[in-house]
Structure 1
Amino acid sequence: MNGEEAIKKAYESILKHDFASAVVWFERAIALDPNCAAYHYKLSITYARSNKLEKATLHAKEAVRLDPNDEHYAMHYRHLQAKELLFRAERLFDESDEQLWLAVELLKQAVELDPLSVEAYLLLSIAYSQLEDYSLAIRAVKELLKLNPDHPVASRLLEEYGRKWKQYMQTASPKEQAERNGVKDESEH
């Protein structure tokens, strides 16, 4: 048996919704031809669909190493890296504000890696809202709505953040308002 025959068996398994068997066949194809980037890529996709993110990322990285010029492999790898950052950030949401700022940084990295990640923009908007930075929460949710204009949660959040922003601006001191708007107080010079 060669690698291509093993790949055919993997696809037959996928068509039968037997993903565990598909993984075995993809792994066999890799064992037969470990330098085939396409085999690693295909296995990575199957692992990702089975929520085995660590193994998916490992094989995506290997596909990129073997064929660094293939944009599909690179994009898939970046997507998986962004997903890992999302999961790490999500775990920080119930922590202190300091940890929430770390979550924001992770989510910003995720968006940079995968600018089409609706989930990253959603979590970023929620994190900013929890930190009471409504202008940035609004900006993040607007980016999400550019990607998915019909997102029901995002539309609701945009309205909510807008109300909270207005309330904040009505109660904030001029100095706080200037800081939130990114304007430095002239008296500090």
Structure 2
Amino acid sequence: MNGEDQIQKAYESILSQDFEKAIEWFEKAIIAEPDNAAYHYKLSITYGRNNKLSNAIEHASIATQLEQDNQVYRYHLQVLHARELVDKARRQLSTQSEHAERAIFLLKEAIVLDPLTIEAYLILGEAFAFRNDYGRAYQTVMEAIRLEPNHELAKQQAARYQQKMKNRV
């Protein structure tokens, strides 16, 4: 069986919601054609959708190395790195609020990598709120609303931060 046949089997597995089997088929395609950047990219997407972020980054990196001029692969890798930073920042904030400074740094970096990641803006708003900087928390969440106007959680956070600012005056 050649790589393309295995890719077809991977897609069939995805359509039947068997993502673990899809990963197996993508991996078999890569064994058949290890220098095929598209196979690594497709496997990376599947890993990413299954929250196996380190595996997703590994294969996105390989795809990018194999085809350095491919903007799609490079952007995908950036988005994965942004997700990784958001996850690290979330862990920083969940352990202790005194890690807010480190979380803010990570979240700002994530937004540079992927300016459309709503989750980064929302968590960044929380990090500013931990510092009682409700003005910046509000501005950050309003940026999320600008990107996704009907995002209910962002609207709720914005209202909460706005109320906190009023209470401080």
TM-score higher than 0.5: yes
For 2:154, give the aligned amino acid: A
Provide the residue aligned with 1:41 in structure 2: 41
- Is 1:131 the counterpart of 2:127? The answer is no
Per-residue Cα deviation, 1:36-75 (whole angstroms, up to 9, x for no partner):
1100000001111111111011101111111122221111
Cα distance in 1 between the residues matched to 2:98 and 2:69: 39
Name the residue aligned to 1:184.
none
What is the CA–CA distance in structure 2 between the aligned matches of 1:115 and 1:89, rounded to whole Å? 16
Amino acid at match of 1:144: A
Deviation at 1:97, TM superposition (A): 4.7
Unaligned runs of 5+ in 2: none
Classify the secondary structure of the residue corresponding to 1:93: helix
**SS of structure 2 residue aligned to 1:92:** helix
Cα deviations by residue, 1:135-161 (Å, 9 ceiling, x for unpaired): 211111011001110111111211221
Q: Distance in 2 between matches of 1:123 and 1:51?
A: 19
2:156 aligned partner: 156
Higher relative contact order (CA 8 A, sep 6+): 2
| Matched AA of 1:137 | A
Q: What is the deviation of 1:167?
A: 2.6
Q: Give the partner amino acid of 1:92.
A: Q
Amino acid at match of 1:66: L
Distance 1:36 1:83 in 2: 25
Q: CA deviation at 1:95?
A: 4.2
Partner of 2:81: 81
Q: Deviations over 1:71-99 (max 9, x none)?
A: 21111111111111111111111444541
Specify every segment of 5 or more residues in structure 1 that has no aligned partner in the other structure, as ranges.
Answer: 171-189
Q: 2: CA distance between counterparts of 1:94 and 1:38?
A: 37
The answer for the alignment partner of 1:71 in structure 2 is 71
Q: Which amino acid in 2 is paired with 1:55?
A: N
TM-score scaled to structure 1, two decimals?
0.85
Using the aligned pairs only, state the percent identity. 46
1:120 and 2:105 matched: no
What's the RMSD between the two structures over aligned residues? 1.3
| Residues 7-18 of structure 1 mapped to structure 2, 5 A cutoff | 7-18=7-18
The size of the alignment, in residue pairs, is 169
In the alignment, the residues of structure 2 paired with residue 108 and residue 53 of structure 1 have an alpha-carbon distance, to the nearest angstrom, of 19
CA distance in 2, matches of 1:70, 1:143: 30
SS at match of 2:105: helix
TM-score normalised over the length of structure 2:
0.95
Counterpart amino acid of residue 100 in structure 1: A
1:96-137 alpha-carbon deviations (Å, 9 max, x no partner): 454111011001011111100000000001110111111211
Greater per-residue helix proportion:
2
Q: CA deviation at 1:34?
A: 0.9
Does 2:146 align with 1:146? yes
